[in-house]
Amino acid sequence: MRRFRVERAAPPPELAPFVGFFWVLRWDLRGRAPHRQRLLTTPCVHMTFTRYLTAGATRARVVGVVRGEFAEELADDGHVVGAGFRPGGFRPFLGAGVPVSAFTGRFAGVDEVFGREGTALAREIFAARGPEEGLGLLTEFLAGRRPERDPSAELAAAIVTRIAARPGPLRVGELADDAGLSVRGLQRLFHEYVGVGPKWVIRRYRMQEAHERAASGADVDWAELAAELGYADQAHFTRDFSAAVGVPPARYAREAGARRGPAPGTIDS
């Protein structure tokens, strides 16, 4: 197999209001140095089950929205089975009074959300004959616990979709007005359902656009791109990019051709 392979699958219709995609990452680095992958996160919660084949280790966790740089080291061989929830789509699986922001910047055990059933699911996935079977188990598990559709979750998802489609200048007040909410109401909605504030989401999708430009291999006028994305100056843009990705944009662009690893955390919701 190739050193890395990422595959995505659409959720079944009954899970589509909640789950954006299911995914599998496989890697085989036996005989090679470990690979450190920088990931540019989006405002999505992921549920992941990692199995390190050579080491025999496993890890099952809920990955909340990561505000800063997220780096993952892969070694030997293994695979990850995951579910990427739509923005707002994880909240209906939580108990009353538990906002998605409770998981922001955290890696929680699946048992924290799903109790003993989550622990049992992890055992089944790690005992599966391969990631495809594990993906089926995860899909079946979530479908069996499908919550009622939540209009607030769908509103949050629609607002994030609008932000993602327009990564340039966009004001929080404009989003609130269009949604029929006050600015405070929009902030409360995002705290409860997305896990981060609307201003962060706007900035992150600006970085998503900049990341794609930097990774494209094309020559980029950074000052022009900064202005296009609504920054007052290139220095502010460079600071935001470095905080999100870990290195300045020009350096990232130089290194992009040498990187061949997967980046499941950058998959759009």
Q: What is the mean pLDDT of residues 29-45?
A: 88
The predicted pLDDT at position 256 comes to 67
What CATH architecture applies to the domain 151-260?
Orthogonal Bundle (1.10)
The predicted pLDDT at position 230 comes to 85
Q: Do the beta carbons of residue 71 and residue 39 sit within 8 Å?
A: yes
* Residue reference for tokens 């599966």: 128
For residue 22, the cross-strand partners are: 9, 83
For residue 37, the cross-strand partners are: 72
The predicted pLDDT at position 38 comes to 73
Checking if the pLDDT of 267 tops 80, the result is no
Domain with CATH 1.10.10.60 in the chain: 151-260
Checking if the pLDDT of 109 tops 60, the result is yes
- Alpha helices (runs of H) in 73-197, residue ranges in sequence order: 110-127, 131-144, 151-165, 172-179, 183-193
Q: What is the mean pLDDT of residues 63-76?
A: 87
Q: What is the pLDDT of residues 184-235, one digit of tens each?
A: 999 999 999 999 999 999 989 988 888 888 888 788 899 999 998 888 899 9
The predicted pLDDT at position 159 comes to 97
Whether the model clears a pTM of 0.85, i.e. scores above it, the answer is yes
Q: What is the mean pLDDT of residues 42-65?
A: 95
The predicted pLDDT at position 253 comes to 85
Average pLDDT for the chain: 90
Report which secondary-structure segment, H or E, holds 20.
Answer: strand 19-28
In 3-state terms, what secondary structure has residue 256? Answer: helix
Q: Tell me what percent of the residues of the chain surpass a pLDDT of 70.
A: 93
Checking if the pLDDT of 264 tops 80, the result is no
Q: Quick one: DSSP state of residue 32?
A: S
Q: Do the beta carbons of residue 191 and residue 99 sit within 8 Å?
A: yes
Which is nearest to 134 in space by CA: 254, 7, 4, 234?
7
Within 13 Å and on the Cβ side, how many CA atoms surround 197? 10
Checking if the pLDDT of 67 tops 70, the result is yes
Domain with CATH 2.60.40 in the chain: 4-148
**CATH code reported for the domain at 4-148:** 2.60.40
Q: Which residues contact 23 (CB under 8 A, 6 or more apart)?
A: 6, 7, 8, 9, 80, 81, 82, 83, 84, 264, 267
Q: What's the rounded Cα separation, in Å, for the pair 111 and 130?
A: 22
For residue 122, the cross-strand partners are: none
The predicted pLDDT at position 70 comes to 81
Q: Tell me what percent of the residues of the chain surpass a pLDDT of 90.
A: 67
Which is nearest to 225 in space by CA: 216, 234, 235, 217?
234
